Amino acid sequence: MKEAEIMNIQKLRLITLSPLNYYYTEAGSGMLPSNFIGDIALKYALLHQLGLDNFFQPGKRNPTYQGDLVPYKFWFTVAMPPYFSIGKGESTPELMKPIKRNTMQGIDYNGTNVHPLVKTGSIMYKNFYFQQFIKPGNIFYSILISKEHLELPQVLRLGTGKTGMVKIEIVEDLDVKPYINLYTIKNILKKDEIYKRLSKRGFTYFEHFLLQYFVIGPVSLKDIEESYEGYV
């Protein structure tokens, strides 16, 4: 089945240009970034970049995935490292050195470290944790699915507070293997039958990270067509 017969597909290379404080999983006393960049995060980033609705204004409303994302008829696949996407290169992104963060409460109250409403003795030593940023220069691959060709910005602002920068390059000459998020299929697109069918198939990559990401793949173009049909 040819790509043109399904929908418009743009193969993308994403290169981190600045430290990316993105999606974290718990790891002992700290938080680690995931090995991928999620489809949900990428769509919010592009909506923010295009200035659509009020996504470019922080704190305007609480996000609701179905209400925010479904009206806009384009979708990303999960951006994966080169090893999974093109069959060579790194399988995990390179990380920066851990950064220690301090989330203590009541440490500076009226010039002292004593707050009348907080028992500081119970929290002073329990609110340090580390986090690691995805290092500049890391490469990920994704596919953008839309009904018509969508003009993309050269750089996306991505991550917590949209402080990370990711360069976008179109790479039509590469065979990019797509990976999709079953959370998107089931909870945002409401395609239960497709979710059940895909979740039972034996994919080589099958990882469930926290609630919003259940990543599988590589999937076929037919799987993509069935998953996003009616939403592009």
Q: DSSP for 121-147? A: HHHTTS-EEEE-PBPTT-EEEEEEEES
Count of beta carbons in the 10 Å neighbourhood of residue 161: 8
Residue of 171, 229, 165, 197 lying closest to 37 (CA atoms) = 165
pLDDT score of 8:
92
Q: What is the CA radius of gyration of the chain?
A: 20
pLDDT score of 129:
63
The C-alpha atoms of residue 225 and residue 194 are separated, in whole angstroms, by 11
User: 11 pLDDT band (50/70/90 cuts)?
Assistant: very high
* pLDDT digits 0-9 by tens, 177-219: 999 999 999 999 999 999 999 999 999 999 887 778 999 999 9
Length of the chain: 232
Average pLDDT of the chain, as a whole number? 84
Share of the chain above pLDDT 90, in %: 56
Residue 119 has pLDDT above 60, yes or no: no
The C-alpha atoms of residue 32 and residue 134 are separated, in whole angstroms, by 9
Share of the chain above pLDDT 70, in %: 76
Chain centroid to Cα 126, Å, comes to 29
* pLDDT digits 0-9 by tens, 132-164: 889 999 999 999 999 888 899 999 998 877 888
Q: Cβ distance 218 to 179 under 8 Å? A: yes
How do 205-209 and 213-217 pair as beta strands?
A: antiparallel
Judged on CB neighbours under 10 Å (0-12, 13-18, 19+), 189 is: buried
**pTM score:** 0.83
Longest dimension (CA), the chain: 69
Q: What mean pLDDT do residues 89-117 have?
A: 70
Residue of 183, 178, 177 lying closest to 41 (CA atoms) = 183
